[in-house]
Amino acid sequence: MKMTLAEIARIVEGEVIGAADVVISGVAPIDEAKVGDITFVANRKYAKQINTTRASAIIIAPQQREIVGKNLVVVSDPYVALGKLLKLFYPLEHEQRGISPEAYVEEGAIVSPEANIFPRAFISHGAKIEKGVVIYPGVYVGRNVSIGEDSVIYANVAIYHSCIIGKRVILHSGVVIGGDGFGFAETGKENVKIPQIGFVQIDDDVEIGANSTVDRATMGKTWIGRNVKIDNLVQIAHNVVIGENSVLAAMVGISGSTKLGRGVIVGGQTGMVGHISVGDRVMIAADSKIHKDVEAGKIVGGKPQMPYKEWLKVEACRTKLPEMKTTIERLVKKIEDLEVKIDKHLK
């Protein structure tokens, strides 16, 4: 594909500074770009490479518009513009077309002829697969599962019975949707299993990374809201609710019945206890341990959680602990010596 810089600017809603008729044939990182490529600067640490890049054009933020000697496209968010161009120049192609005769589709399943089902996928009776859905080899779709238009289910995903997958959902390899929630009575004694009779609902435009799991509800539903993005190796327990536009980084674990509001951002390796509520637009630092409710709009971190700025002060002190211990021991010794002197004086 080839486009002029003016055409690209219209697509990304930007302003051209320089030669609007320069032809672009690819997108590349700033240190690897060659003539004919467009690159971007979304992080200030790469700004020093602007003068040395061979790219024919650079996508920049408004505060960088004073750059001279380069063809520029000024946009409000260079990273968003990059995403649009990558989709345009490098569209994802699914080679299989139609329903493979080597896929196993049980009687009673409804599969759109416009779906794309690879060999060795298994689709159970009662399942409904809408048009544009792509299902790769090794996928198991349980009974009465529904998968909305244009969703992509990569190899070796398991979707247990009765789960609902919305439109344009992406499930990466190894994802398990609808496995039993971790429900047991007399824990540590008899470990009596509590049947998990609910389901999982995943709304439109959700993406879930490789080897992540979303457990079915004990009763009712585990619910992942619209446009939620979940990284690899994330555990979502039974009856959890995650509000739309939230983002969870890798190795997050959320215990049962916890509810996250809209636009929540959770750093990697964060753990949350069950039955708590995290408000809208909360930000949680990586490796935090959330043990109680968090009010909307708060930024927290630490183990246990505390206000983010307070946590930064605690972390700043951590490296000084040996020095502080030595100082405290020295002060304690001085106090003890003074006490001995005072006792002698009083006698």
Bridging pattern class, strands 134-135 and 116-117:
parallel
Q: Which of 65, 29, 20 is nearest to 9 (CA)?
A: 20
- Could you give the 3-state DSSP secondary structure of residue 223? strand
How many whole angstroms separate alpha carbon 127 and alpha carbon 117? Answer: 13
Closest to 49 measured CA to CA, from 19, 29, 65, 63: 29
Token pair of 83 as six digits? 């995403």
The whole-angstrom separation of Cα 264 and Cα 130 is: 30
Of 168, 136, 124, 165, the residue nearest 149 (C-alpha): 168
Residue with tokens 């971007």: 40
The total of other beta-carbon atoms located within 10 Å of residue 332's CB is: 10
Using an 8 Å Cβ cutoff, are 71 and 17 in contact?
A: yes
CB atoms within 10 A of CB 67: 17
CA dihedral 220, 226, 231, 236 (to 10 degrees): -10
Q: What contacts 24+ positions apart, CB below 8 Å, involve 250-259?
A: 250/209, 256/181, 256/182, 256/183, 256/215, 256/218
Long-range own/partner contacts, residues 216-223 (CB < 8 A, 24 or more apart): 216/160, 216/162, 216/163, 216/178, 216/179, 216/180, 216/181, 217/181, 218/181, 218/183, 218/194, 218/256, 222/181, 222/198
What amino acid positions are annotated as catalytic residues?
238
